[in-house]
Amino acid sequence: MRHRATLSADVPREMTRFIDWFNRTSPEGKAPLPALARAGIAHIYFECIHPFEDGNGRIGRAVAEKALAQNLGHAPLTSLAMTILAKRKAYYAALERSNTESEMTDWLRWFGAAAIEAQHRTTALIEFLLDKTRLLDRLEGQLNERQQKALLRMLREGPDGFKGGLSAGNYVTITGASTPTATRDLADMVSKGALIRSGERRHTRYRVNVSLRPVAPVTIDEQGSIVSPD
């Protein structure tokens, strides 16, 4: 049967049951559960109750992170919420599938994969931020205002890099420079080691001179094995 939203009159009772379950299954509770299983169940349990008119997704993700923190004994250094949002379409599909029946194994497989992928994303982000800091420190005082603006805009894209690479046209749009000025600025940034150039003529593209670390999606198969594309 398809899941129906909890009637407003039943929300207080269901939330009381949810909080009781959450406390009982905590590490100090009477029926503790493994960290990932508890976090995944807590999230979908809360979403099924859907106690608020808006913000249930954000609060549900926070509840999952709270559950992980309780089991770890400290706040998890993972980008779980960010990873779920990056996989928004798959996330809603997984929730929808779990709402058609009481069985939640498929949902827990999806959630567990998302949590593992979040760890990979966190590691990639930390390493990227370290490289970014080293690059900016090395270039301090060497770039003009336009170059600095373009570089910071590219770095905002994080470990995945500036989508498609930076073109001279992109540089003009970001900085307001003329085309000849953009060409000179970009050549100067390459010579200073801020950017790496590839391609020729209209296919010329530039990327920031740091190691990019795109994170491959993670899935968990029916046997419970982690599947991560090479």
CB 79 within 8 A of CB 121: yes
Give the Cα separation of 5 and 28 in Å (integer): 31
Q: What is the pLDDT of residue 3?
A: 46
Shared domain for 32 and 97, answered yes or no, is yes
What CATH code is carried by the domain that includes residue 35?
A: 1.10.3290.10
Q: pLDDT category, 230, cuts 50, 70, 90?
A: low
Q: What is the pLDDT of residue 5?
A: 60
Q: pLDDT category, 2, cuts 50, 70, 90?
A: very low
Shared domain for 97 and 170, answered yes or no, is no
Q: What secondary structure, in 3-state letters, does 14-56 show?
A: HHHHHHHHHHHCCCCCCCCCCHHHHHHHHHHHHHHHCCCCCCH
147-195 pLDDT, tens digit each: 999 999 999 998 888 888 999 999 999 999 999 999 999 999 999 999 9
- Structure pTM? 0.74
CB 20 within 8 A of CB 28: no
Shared domain for 181 and 76, answered yes or no, is no
Shared domain for 102 and 179, answered yes or no, is no
pLDDT at 227 over 50: yes
Listed ranges 2-11, 58-67, 143-152; the one with the highest mean pLDDT? 143-152
Shared domain for 103 and 156, answered yes or no, is no
Q: Which domain holds residue 194?
A: 127-208
Across 104-121, average pLDDT: 89
pLDDT at 201 over 70: yes
Shared domain for 131 and 118, answered yes or no, is no
End-to-end CA distance of the chain: 38
User: How many C-beta atoms surround the C-beta of residue 195 within 10 A?
Assistant: 24
11-61 pLDDT, tens digit each: 999 999 999 999 999 999 999 999 999 999 999 999 889 999 888 888 999
CB 41 within 8 A of CB 49: no
Q: What is the pLDDT of residue 1?
A: 33
Nearest residue to 115 (alpha-carbon basis) of 217, 209, 8: 217
**What is the domain count for the chain?**
2
